[in-house]
Amino acid sequence: MSADLDQLENQSIYILREAYNRIDKLAMLWSIGKDSNALLWLCRKAFFGRIPFPVVQLDTAMELPEVYEFRDRITKEWDLDLKVEQCPPEEEMDQTLPPLTRAAARKTEGLKNLLRDHAYQGVMVGIRRDEQATRAKERVFSPRSLEGDWDVKDQPAEFWDHYKTRFPEGVHVRIHPLLAWTELDIWRYSQREGIPIVPLYFARDGKRYRSLGEKNITFPVDSTASTIDEIIAELQVTRVPERAGRAMDNESEDSFERLRSVGYM
């Protein structure tokens, strides 16, 4: 198992260094969840303890208090160049979207504003293929329009760790160093490395957050797992999907796909 984690770690560090070497202006999106915390840790390893690009939180002011406390602590301890992008209000979202999906769309519009205002050419995002079916179609280096539009049929081929990293004007690139990881991999790696974890992931009163998001659209699931060992054991037998607590996923069959096509992470 340790060898598998070593291979994943080496691949991710290679992707991070490849992106830094070939793409001029980079930022990393930090949701403060388990995946982006693991990605942050990998960035520190890749660049010898100091992350050489901004770390951006897309903030809706709807995160749980523990998330903001964790953000502020880690920013100080790891000396991060944190940028907080305030997302537009829900009233400005596409009103044809279902209500919960409109709430989730705020981060999509926040990311568009970030790209417009700061002209980042590459954005690192801690998504995984196993988390959601639409993300299984992703590439490691995924070109998008400046508005975030994603054409799933027009993605570059990626073979044997060879990635297309040069794109024309009017394009930004999403870089996904964790795409090959699984939820179990993230937890095993976090345990091995001693990566700090937001306490909400650990069960309290028979509930824990499997996936972190805004408090108005994300809810805890039934669980008694209060340690990483117990979470790993739970994940080995559970049939409950990782995003079971994401209310948006149960609102409309195509909600996630619609958001992804216009720039959602």
In tens, the pLDDT along 42-73 reads: 999 999 999 999 999 999 999 999 999 999 99
Q: For residue 219, what are the CA distances in angstroms to 17, 241, 264?
A: 36, 13, 20
Residue 162 lies in a domain: yes
- Please give the model's pTM, rounded to 2 decimal places: 0.91
Q: Which two tokens stand for residue 219?
A: 């809810």
Do 205 and 74 lie in a common domain?
no
Using pLDDT thresholds of 50, 70 and 90, give the confidence band for residue 257. low
Q: What are phi and psi of 173, to 5 degrees?
A: -120, 130
Average pLDDT, the chain: 89
Each residue's pLDDT tens digit, 13-47: 999 999 999 998 999 999 999 999 999 999 999 99
Do 96 and 211 lie in a common domain?
no
Do 35 and 105 lie in a common domain?
yes
* Contact indicator for 187, 234 with CB cutoff of 8 Å: no
Residue 7 lies in a domain: yes
Q: Which two tokens stand for residue 243?
A: 């995003």
- In percent, the amount of the chain with pLDDT more than 70 equals 91
* Beta partners for residue 141, in sequence order: 175
Do 215 and 150 lie in a common domain?
no
Residue 187 lies in a domain: no
Using pLDDT thresholds of 50, 70 and 90, give the confidence band for residue 248. confident
Residue 186 lies in a domain: no
Domain holding 135, by residue range, is 3-181+252-261
Each residue's pLDDT tens digit, 172-187: 899 999 999 999 999 9
Domain CATH number, residue 117: 3.40.50.620
**End-to-end CA separation in angstroms for the chain:** 29
Residue 170 lies in a domain: yes
Q: What are phi and psi of 262, to 5 degrees?
A: -110, 15
For residue 35, which of 209, 257, 249, 215 has the smallest C-alpha distance? Answer: 209
Residue 172 lies in a domain: yes
- Helices (runs of H) and strands (runs of E) counted in the chain: 7, 8
Residue 124 lies in a domain: yes
Sign of CA dihedral 183, 187, 189, 194: positive
Do 143 and 212 lie in a common domain?
no
Do 202 and 168 lie in a common domain?
no
Please report the DSSP string for 136-168 in residue order: GG--SEEEEETT----TTS----BTTB------
Do 177 and 209 lie in a common domain?
no
Do 56 and 143 lie in a common domain?
yes
- Kindly state the helix (H) or strand (E) to which residue 208 belongs, with its residue range: strand 207-208
Do 93 and 140 lie in a common domain?
yes
Do 150 and 238 lie in a common domain?
no
Do 205 and 117 lie in a common domain?
no
Do 42 and 98 lie in a common domain?
yes
**What is the longest distance spanned by two Cα atoms in the chain?**
52
Using pLDDT thresholds of 50, 70 and 90, give the confidence band for residue 262. low
What is the Cα–Cα distance from 96 to 36, expressed in whole angstroms? Answer: 30
For residue 133, what pLDDT is reported? Answer: 66
Each residue's pLDDT tens digit, 79-124: 999 999 999 998 888 888 888 888 888 898 999 999 999 999 999 9
Residue 151 lies in a domain: yes
* Contact indicator for 36, 126 with CB cutoff of 8 Å: yes
10 vs 157, which has greater pLDDT?
10
How many domains does the structure of the chain reveal? 2
For residue 16, which of 179, 145, 158, 224 has the smallest C-alpha distance? Answer: 179
- Kindly state the helix (H) or strand (E) to which residue 71 belongs, with its residue range: helix 65-77
Each residue's pLDDT tens digit, 186-237: 999 999 999 999 999 999 999 999 999 999 889 999 999 999 999 999 999 9
